[in-house]
């Protein structure tokens, strides 16, 4: 009997994209892609493939019901979900064809592991990823804000026109796919210590560190800020990367001094612009000077330093 697959498709709203990919992975659905062109990042379609034998109609209805609360969090409605059945020999090709080389900022390139480096991007720093392993593929505005901020920091610190973060230690809290830590290593950072509370993210970060050639310089473990502090062995990092939702950042910020040195810099994303004032106040209560330094659409990036 020929194996067939259900292809799930829905409009990928920017507020929901990361959460939807995370939820699908958590439900055992790793074959996920976001269909978009780099020149039109606002026009995205989320696509997932599910074995037809394992997902009869009742289970597919329950899946949609499980995704709906993610939209409720942002006061939105889940976009309409469409289903199409396709043969086994088609799904893997159609999954991978949605991923393209994706330039970010002036010097970075996100490249799916199975693609060759396009000649027109030969001068870029390549972040090789396996988008099938987990969420955090670089298409979300919060991820791009962080990547661009890391690049700008390297430009500021580099000497004689050569962008370079310098021999700094980086902490990545809520690392997702590891994309931010890998970007920092490509631009001169010495080591990255990373943690995430999702085991799928930990596995994805390890896999992507291997694919990108940084397995010996990126350490990742399951856990939150306490586990990250343990990985740093009592020596807080020079740069903190944190791309998670604003309420989570607010809850964790009392422990930021255990992972970020007094002279260090923090890049916080994952927050909506209208959430910035409350988060800024919470950070200032903990002794951090917080400033909203970049935004894309309704999403923002906050930079923190010791007051």
With H, G, I as helix, E, B as strand and everything else as coil, classify residue 208. helix
- Segments making up each domain of the chain, as ranges: 4-98, 119-306
Nearest to 98 by CA among 35, 45, 43: 35
Quote the pLDDT of residue 43: 73
Could you read off the pLDDT of 119-130 as tens digits, one per residue? 999 999 999 887
- pTM for this entry: 0.76
Listed as own residue / partner, the contacts of 45-48 with beta carbons closer than 8 Å and 24 or more positions apart are: 45/9, 45/10, 45/11, 45/12, 46/8, 46/9, 46/10, 46/11, 46/12, 46/17, 46/20, 46/21, 47/7, 47/8, 47/9, 47/95, 47/98, 48/7, 48/8, 48/24
Measured between alpha carbons, how far apart are the two ends of the chain, in Å? 66
Topology adopted by domain 4-98:
Alpha-Beta Plaits (3.30.70)
CATH code that applies to domain 119-306: 3.40.50.150
Q: Is 273 exposed, middle or buried (0-12, 13-18, 19+ CB in 10 A)?
A: middle
Could you read off the pLDDT of 128-163 as tens digits, one per residue? 887 654 445 666 778 889 999 999 999 998 876 678
12: which DSSP letter?
A: -
Q: Which of 295 and 99 is assigned the larger pLDDT?
A: 295
What is the C-alpha to C-alpha distance for residues 31 and 76, in angstroms, rounded to an integer?
25
Mean pLDDT of the chain, nearest integer: 87
Greatest Cα-to-Cα distance within the chain, rounded to the nearest angstrom:
66
Residue 269, pLDDT > 70, answer yes
What is the C-alpha to C-alpha distance for residues 293 and 301, in angstroms, rounded to an integer?
6
Summarize the chain as % helix, strand, coil (round to 5).
35, 35, 30
Quote the Cα angle for 258-153-201, to 5°.
55
* Residue whose tokens read 């919470």: 282
Quote the pLDDT of residue 16: 84
For the chain, how many residues are written? 307
Tokens of 56: 């009869």
């Amino acid at each position: 009997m020929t194996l067939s697959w259900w292809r799930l498709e829905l409009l990928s709203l920017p507020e929901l994209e990361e959460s939807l990919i995370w939820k699908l992975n958590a439900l055992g659905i790793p074959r996920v892609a976001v269909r978009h062109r780099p020149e039109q990042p606002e026009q995205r379609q989320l696509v997932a493939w599910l074995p037809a034998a394992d997902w009869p109609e009742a289970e597919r209805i329950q899946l949609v019901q499980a995704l709906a609360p993610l939209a409720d969090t942002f006061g939105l409605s889940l976009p309409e979900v469409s289903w199409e059945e396709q043969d086994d020999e088609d799904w893997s090709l159609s999954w991978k064809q949605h991923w393209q080389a994706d330039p970010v900022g002036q010097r970075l390139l996100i490249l799916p592991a199975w693609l060759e480096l396009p000649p027109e991007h030969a001068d870029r720093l390549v972040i090789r990823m396996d988008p099938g392993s987990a969420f955090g593929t670089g298409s979300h505005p919060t991820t791009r804000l962080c990547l661009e901020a890391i690049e700008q920091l390297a430009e500021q610190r580099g000497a004689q026109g050569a962008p370079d973060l310098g021999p700094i230690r980086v902490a990545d809290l809520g690392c997702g796919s590891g994309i931010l830590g890998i970007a920092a290593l490509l631009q001169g950072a010495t080591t990255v210590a990373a943690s995430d509370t999702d085991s799928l993210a930990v596995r994805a970060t390890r896999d992507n560190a291997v694919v990108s050639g940084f397995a010996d310089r990126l350490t990742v473990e399951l856990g939150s800020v306490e586990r990250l502090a343990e990985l740093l062995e009592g020596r807080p990092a020079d740069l903190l990367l944190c791309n998670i939702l604003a309420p989570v950042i607010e809850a964790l910020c009392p422990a930021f001094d255990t992972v970020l040195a007094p002279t260090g810099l923090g890049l916080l994303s994952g927050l909506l612009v209208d959430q910035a004032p409350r988060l800024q106040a919470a950070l200032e209560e903990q002794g951090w000077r917080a400033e909203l330094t970049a935004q894309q659409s309704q999403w923002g990036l906050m930079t923190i330093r010791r007051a």
